Amino acid sequence: MRRSHLPFFLLSSVIAAGVGCARHERARTGAQTSVSVEVDGVVQAPLDAAGLAKWTPERRHARWRLWRLARLIDVDLAGAALVLDYADGTRGGFAAPQPGAAADVWLAADDEGRAALVLAAPSAQRLPSLDVAAASARFTGIRITTATRRSALTRRDAGCDDVSLSITFADGRVAKWTSADLERVAQREREPTERGDVPAWSLRDVVATFVDKDARVAAIANAAGETSTISTAAWLDLQRAPVLRANQRGLWKFDWIDATTKQPMRDGRLRNVTALRIASVEREASLAVR
C-alpha cells in the first residue's frame, strides 16, 4: 500500500498556520481585561472582562469597545482628578471635564485584554490616544479623587480643617457643622469662578439633611459681623439657589445662584461665613443636628 505524503514545505506551512491560529485565539480569549479602581482612597470592584460583558458598549472605534467611565463605576466625575497606573510602574493622569463640557471620560477595551482611558467627545471620529495605548505599557489601574474630596483636601492644606459653622436654632440651642459633616451631603450645585466651575452645596440640601425638610436658613453671618438675611419667600424661590462652598483659602463663602443663567447673583453674597441661624418655613425648628 502506498502512503500519501504531503510535501514537507506544505506540511510545515499547515503546522505553522495552526500554531499561529491557536496563538491568536489564546490572545483573544486568554487575556482578560482587569483595571483596578480606587475612589477617594477606597478600593472599588475592578473593571474586568466579566463586569464589562454586562454593559453594552456605547461606541466602537476600530478594535476597541468604549463605555463612559462614570456609568461603569457610578461616580460623579465632574472636576475629578484621575491618576492612571501602568504595568511598567509609570503614571499618567488628567482632570475630568466639568458639566456641560463637550468631552467625556471613556474606558476602552479590546479583545486582547488591553484597556485604555481616553478623553473625547461622543461624536469624535478620530481617537489617536487609542493608537498610542495599543503600543504603550498596559493600563492597570485608576485612582480617582472626586471634586468633593478635592475641596476637602484644599481646606486641609490651607490649615482650615477646624473651621466650622456655628448653628443657632430658634429655641436658643446651638450646634456646629464641620467640613466633615458637609461632606455627607452631595454637592449638587456648581459655581463659576476664575478657576472654572467648582462644586458647591445647596443650603436647602444641607438643612434638609441635618435638620428637617421644613427648616430653612434665616440668616448668615461672617467673622466681620456682616449678616445676610433670607426670607421664607426667597428660600422657597426655585429660580435661585442658596449655595455654600469653600474658597481657595478654605473659608466658607455664600452665594445665590440664578437657576436659569447658573451665574452668581449680586445680592446676598457673603465671604468668610462662620454662622447660620435656622428657622422653619412653617414653625421654628427644634431639631438638633443628627
**pLDDT tens, residue by residue, 57-71:** 999 998 999 999 999
pLDDT at 78 over 60: yes
User: Would you place residue 27 in the very low, low, confident or very high pLDDT band (cuts 50, 70, 90)?
Assistant: very low
Please tell me the number of Cα atoms within 13 Å of 48 on its side-chain side. 8
More confident residue, 207 or 268: 207
Query: What would the mean pLDDT of 113-134 be, rounded to a whole number?
Result: 86
Amino acid code (one letter) for 240:
R
Average pLDDT over residues 186-211: 81
Quick: pLDDT tens for 4-20.
444 433 333 333 334 34
For residue 14, CA distances in Å to 6, 17, 20, 56 come to 10, 5, 10, 38
Of 25 and 243, which is predicted with more confidence? Answer: 243
Beta carbons of 80 and 93 less than 8 angstroms apart? no
- On whether the CB atoms of residues 202 and 188 are closer than 8 A, the answer is yes
Q: Tell me, yes or no, if the pTM score tops 0.95.
A: no
**Those residues with Cβ within 8 angstroms of residue 205's Cβ, 6 or more apart along the chain or in another chain:** 185, 186, 188
Report, as an integer, the average pLDDT of 47-65.
Answer: 92
- Higher pLDDT, residue 197 or 88: 88
pLDDT over threshold 80, residue 160: no
Q: What are phi and psi of 50, to 5 degrees?
A: -65, -40
Question: How much is the pLDDT for 162?
Answer: 52
Residue 31 banded pLDDT, cuts 50, 70, 90: low
Nearest one of 52, 21, 28 to 111, comparing CA atoms? 28
